């Protein structure tokens, strides 16, 4: 018997457990250093770090397990080795994990950008999907601003004219965010944000078209970043205007406060706030927990798994529903992949 066969047999015998992953830091010209106060992994060098990818099934940046007998395994490998344990009743729907989770430190404003919808296949590279995303605001600065959608009445011709005059900001709807705000950015929505720290959940896609980048120069390359104006304009949904914070729906007010912030064909997200034990997860379906305040422990199969601020934990479907025990006040985000989730060509 080959060594590979032996390893495969061992993997099949390992029952999946609540999995934590190491954050993957990304240099961004608009980033800062505030993620050092959220995550325990030290930031690299002195570069501006704009993103921490905290759950990523991407070929170039695969998330790796940090604890337990599966330490060092990537989420991609787990999907190959134990798909039924991980996905449960969703096992036949996806070839890779359908969501990408991040923390963003937007010290400076991002480029004005847009993502294609799943239906605009001519603007989506092979193996990718469209990109609907959403943010939960964790921290704001004095200049905190979210631009989401166009101002009513903005046409393609007006937008092109604004680009020529370098006055795109005049066509963008905006608001000053507060901590706790949830903002849904549907594919096709023109958007950007600055001087905020946010959690982001999105379709597992890296397709972004830059419309405008504030005429700035990347200090590392000493050149402006590339724009994709024609592709961006082609992907804009001009009906997406003046997007504001979501209105959470309170589903439960005891023992924990459970607020549903987002519910669409790509992801469902709840915010859970409590000081006494409450349940998380679901039978036969994967769930993701992100701790954004406080600490606590999750109990699964008679073992305890700690969660501290900044941790992400994937609950494989085999774990089912589990009790979570806060240590003081805790705030968790719980994310589900809908059973009716839209599927696209997500092959490797």
154's CB contacts (< 8 A; 6+ apart) are 171, 238, 241
57 and 202 inside one domain: yes
d(CA 124, CA 345): 10
In angstroms, how far apart are the furthest CA atoms of the chain? 69
The backbone torsions φ and ψ at residue 7, rounded to the nearest 5 degrees and listed phi first, read -60, -40
Q: Provide the H-helix boundaries in the chain.
A: 3-13, 75-81, 83-87, 156-164, 229-235
**What does the pLDDT read at residue 123?**
96
What pLDDT does 83 receive?
A: 95
pLDDT tens by residue, the chain, 348 residues: 554 444 445 445 689 999 999 999 999 999 999 999 999 999 998 899 999 999 999 999 999 999 999 999 999 999 999 999 999 999 998 889 999 999 999 999 999 999 999 999 999 999 899 999 999 999 999 999 999 999 999 999 999 999 999 999 999 999 999 999 999 999 999 999 999 999 999 999 999 999 999 999 988 889 999 999 999 999 999 999 999 999 999 998 888 999 999 999 999 999 999 999 999 999 999 999 999 999 999 999 999 999 999 999 999 999 999 999 999 999 999 999 998 765 654 444
Q: Residue 342: CB partners within 8 Å, gap ≥ 6?
A: 118, 265, 266
Specify the pLDDT at position 347.
Answer: 43
- What is the bridge-based pairing of β-strands 182-185 and 133-150? antiparallel
**The three-state (H, E, C) secondary structure of 168-186, written as one string:** HHHHEEEECCCCCCEEEEC
Residue 123 near residue 231 (C-beta atoms within 8 A):
yes
In this structure, the answer to whether residues 93 and 34 fall within a common structural domain is: yes
| Inter-residue contact 51 to 58 (CB < 8 Å) | no
Domain with residue 191: its CATH number is 2.60.120.10
Q: Are residues 311 and 259 in the same domain?
A: yes
Q: Residue 325 is part of which domain span? A: 249-336
CB-based burial of residue 308 (10 Å sphere; 0-12 exposed, 13-18 middle, 19+ buried)? middle
Q: Which of 179, 209, 235 is the last residue of a domain?
A: 235
Are residues 162 and 277 both part of a single domain?
no
The predicted pLDDT at position 26 comes to 96
Domain-terminating residue out of 212, 235, 258: 235
> b/e per residue, 198-216, with b = 16+ CB within 10 A?
bbbbbbbbbbbbbbbbbee
343 within a domain of the structure (yes/no)? no
CA distance 170 to 212: 12
**What is the model's pLDDT at position 4?**
46
Residue 297 and residue 275 share a domain:
yes
Decide if 210 is catalytic.
yes
CA dist., res. 347 & res. 107, Å (int): 34
Count of the separate structural domains present in the chain: 2
Do 108 and 228 lie in a common domain?
yes
CA distances to 104, 121, 209, 290 from 116, in Å: 21, 8, 8, 27
Backbone angles phi, psi at 316, to 5 degrees: -60, 155
Residues 231 and 254 in one domain: no
Residue 45: the pLDDT is 84
- Res 219: pLDDT: 84
Distance, in Å, from the CA atom of 289 to the CA atom of 55, rounded to the nearest integer, reads 11
Asked, for residue 299, whether it belongs to a domain, the answer is: yes
* Contact in structure between 183 and 104 (CB atoms under 8 Å): no
Q: What pLDDT does 95 receive?
A: 87
Are the beta carbons of 26 and 330 closer than 8 angstroms? no
So what's the pLDDT on residue 324?
98
| Identified catalytic residue from 210, 258, 271, 287 | 210
């Amino acid at each position: 018997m080959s060594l590979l066969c032996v390893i495969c047999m061992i993997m099949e015998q390992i029952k999946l457990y609540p999995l934590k992953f190491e954050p993957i830091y990304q240099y961004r010209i608009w980033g800062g250093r505030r993620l050092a106060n959220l995550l325990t992994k030290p930031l690299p060098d002195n570069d501006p770090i704009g993103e921490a990818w905290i759950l990523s099934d991407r070929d170039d940046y695969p998330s790796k397990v940090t604890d337990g007998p599966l330490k060092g395994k990537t989420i991609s490998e787990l999907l190959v080795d134990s798909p039924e344990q991980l996905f449960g009743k969703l096992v036949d729907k996806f070839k890779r994990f359908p969501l990408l989770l991040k923390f963003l430190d937007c010290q400076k404003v991002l480029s004005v950008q847009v993502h294609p919808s799943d239906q605009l296949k001519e603007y989506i590279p092979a193996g990718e999907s469209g990109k609907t995303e959403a943010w939960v605001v964790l921290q704001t600065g004095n200049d905190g601003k979210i631009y989401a959608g166009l101002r009513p009445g903005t046409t393609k011709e007006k937008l092109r004219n604004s680009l020529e005059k370098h006055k795109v900001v005049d066509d963008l709807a905006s608001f000053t965010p507060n901590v706790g705000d949830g903002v849904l950015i549907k594919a096709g929505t023109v958007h950007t944000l600055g001087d905020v720290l946010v959690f982001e959940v999105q379709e597992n896609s890296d397709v972004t078209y830059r419309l405008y980048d504030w005429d700035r120069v990347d200090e590392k390359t000493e050149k402006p970043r590339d724009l994709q104006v024609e592709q961006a304009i082609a992907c804009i949904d001009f009906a997406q205007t003046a997007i504001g914070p979501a209105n959470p729906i309170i589903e439960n007010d005891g023992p924990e406060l459970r607020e549903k912030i987002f519910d669409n064909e790509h992801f469902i997200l709840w915010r859970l706030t409590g000081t006494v034990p409450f349940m998380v997860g679901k039978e036969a379906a994967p769930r993701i927990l992100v701790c954004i305040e406080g600490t606590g422990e999750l109990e699964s199969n008679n073992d305890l798994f700690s969660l501290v601020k900044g941790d992400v934990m994937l609950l494989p479907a085999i774990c089912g529903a589990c009790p979570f025990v806060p240590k003081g006040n805790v705030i968790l985000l719980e994310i589900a992949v809908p059973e009716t989730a839209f599927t696209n060509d997500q092959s490797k």
